[in-house]
Structure 1
Amino acid sequence: MGTQAEEIREQQRMTWNKFSPGWKKWDEFTMNFLKPMGDAIIKNLELKDHDQVLDVAAGTGEPGLTIAGLIPNGKVIGTDLAEDMVTIAAENAEMKGLSNYEILTTDVCELPFEEDTFDAISCRMGFMFFPDMMLAARQMYRVLKAGGKLSTSVWDGPQHNDWITTIMSVIQRHVALPSPQPGAPGMFRCAEPDLIGDLFKKVGFRSIVSQEVRGKVDYQSFDRYWEIMLDMGGPIVTALSGVDKTTIAKIKAEVAELFKSKNKEGESTLEYAALVISAVK
């Protein structure tokens, strides 16, 4: 990788490590939120009991932990760039009594495995943050066995993801945020319908299938939504870092009003949508 990609990688590592306490705090909530995407990935992988599985961008462990439970005679290796995140994954594996789950801190663009090592690869919400998506896909292709399956998920466009745009749209009205560079890592970088599929095709994958997963996430209350977003949202915290208390209070009030407008009386839900793309080597 070039110097710029290495700088992005280090920034990503530092950010995820910094917010790992928030991810640990809200792990049960977040894993329930992301479970439909993980379930779709698992279904597409068509796992067998003795499979060797690589879970890339494992974070706090899912869907790798669920996969490990489904293949007791197989093995799952969860990899992530942020060592503090996979430490949480290891703790979760121990709590679940999973002896066939291991963690490894490594960069997806430099996977330390031999060719044709894994029967399946899962990657939930990782591609949009990789500094070099093509290199990442090539590495996954290299370590996957012939006939092996890869399944990944990425966020659909912002118009379908109220859970993040509800707060970010208000912040953008009050804070001058730098415009993201085209193709730079970010939540909606992979939202174009054929972007990941075309990438996989260029690398050599076949039988590429894309599906959409939509739903609503229940925050139970606005205050809980606000707390979760500030505990876990690196871009949100960064955007608000230099903002005075009066402006933050105004932003919170406007976000609360917008949140309320998207819900019926007594509800606290916001919409999400993701794309799940699967392929065969």
Structure 2
Amino acid sequence: MNTQLEEIREQQKATWNKFSAGWRKWDDFTMDWLRPMGEEIIRSLHVKPTDLVLDVAAGTGEPGLSIATLARDGKVVITDLAEGMLDVARDKARARGIRNYETVACDVCELPFPDETFDAVSCRFGFMFFPDMLLAAREMQRVLKPGGRLAAAVWSVPAKNAWITAIMGTINRHLELPAPPPGAPGMFRCGSPGMLADLLKQAGFRNVNEREVTGKLRCGTNEQYWPFMNEVAAPVVAALSKADEATREKIKRDVFAQVDQLCQDKSAALDYGTVVVQGEK
């Protein structure tokens, strides 16, 4: 990996460690919201009781911990760049009495496992942040056993994700933030139909297919939506850090107005769209 990609990796490690406290605070709410994508990943993997499964970029432990309850005579290795996120995963595993797992802090582009180790690999909302997505896919393919399965979820296009565009669009209108470089890690980097599927094919996966999973982020009120986004969504915090207090308050009022326009019943239930891609080695 070149120096520029290493710098991106280290920046992301610092960011996710910084936000691990927010993810711990909101974990029950967040995991309930993201559960449909995890369930689709699990269905795609056809987990057997004796499987050895790798969960990449698992953050606070999902879908890896749920997979561990299915691979009860096997094991799940839960990986992430950020030790702070893995701390939450370990605490959750203890609370749920899950023992057939281990956590490993590592970079997906340099997985510390031998060839053909795992029966399955899962990755929920990691691919779009990997500095080198093709190298990451090839590493996942390398550590899979022949016939092993990969399933990954990514965010779809901005138009299908009002939960984040409602706030980021408003911030951008106020602050006129510069657009990220083309292809830079970010939320919607893998959103175009077929993008991640084509990447997996390049990495050597076969029988690749994708399906859309949609739903709503149900916050209940604007007063719940605003702190959630400010404590969990790194792009929001990074952008708002560039605003003074008066501008932040104006952005907040405009975000509330935007959410109310989208949710006229004042429920702050905002659409999300995702793509789940699966393939075999």
Amino acid at match of 1:228: F
Q: CA deviation at 1:192?
A: 1.1
Is 1:52 the counterpart of 2:52 in the alignment? yes
Amino acid at match of 1:276: V
Separation in 2, partners of 1:178, 1:251 = 17
Q: CA deviation at 1:176?
A: 2.5
Separation in 1, partners of 2:267, 2:175 = 29
Structure 1 segments unaligned to the other structure (5+ residues): none
Is 1:161 the counterpart of 2:161 in the alignment? yes
Moved more, 231-240 or 12-21: 231-240
Output aligned runs, 1:119-130, within 5 Å: 119-130=119-130
Provide, for residues 248-267 of structure 1, a one-character-per-residue CA deviation record: whole Å limited to 9, x for no partner: 11110010011111113242
**Other-structure match for 1:189:** 189
Separation in 2, partners of 1:12, 1:153 = 19
Q: Secondary structure at the match of 1:151?
A: strand
Output aligned runs, 1:1-281, within 5 Å: 1-281=1-281
Q: CA deviation at 1:51?
A: 0.1
Amino acid at match of 1:61: G
Separation in 2, partners of 1:172, 1:242 = 11
Separation in 2, partners of 1:202, 1:266 = 45
- Check conservation: 2:60, 2:85, Cα contact below 8 A: yes
Q: Secondary structure at the match of 2:73?
A: coil
What percent of counterpart residues are identical? 54
Separation in 2, partners of 1:152, 1:242 = 33
Runs of 4+ in structure 1 deviating by more than 4 angstroms, as ranges, are: none
Separation in 2, partners of 1:217, 1:83 = 27
Separation in 1, partners of 2:41, 2:5 = 28
Q: Secondary structure at the match of 2:264?
A: coil
Amino acid at match of 2:123: C
Q: CA deviation at 1:204?
A: 0.9
Separation in 2, partners of 1:265, 1:108 = 43
- Check conservation: 2:149, 2:280, Cα contact below 8 A: yes
Provide, for residues 46-92 of structure 1, a one-character-per-residue CA deviation record: whole Å limited to 9, x for no partner: 01000000000010000001000112101000000111101111111
Q: Secondary structure at the match of 1:154?
A: strand
- Check conservation: 2:260, 2:266, Cα contact below 8 A: no
Provide, for residues 167-223 of structure 1, a one-character-per-residue CA deviation record: whole Å limited to 9, x for no partner: 001000111312111111000000111111111111111000100000112101101
Give the number of equivalent residue pairs. Answer: 281
Q: Secondary structure at the match of 2:159?
A: helix
Amino acid at match of 2:194: D
TM-score for both structures, normalised by structure 2: 0.99
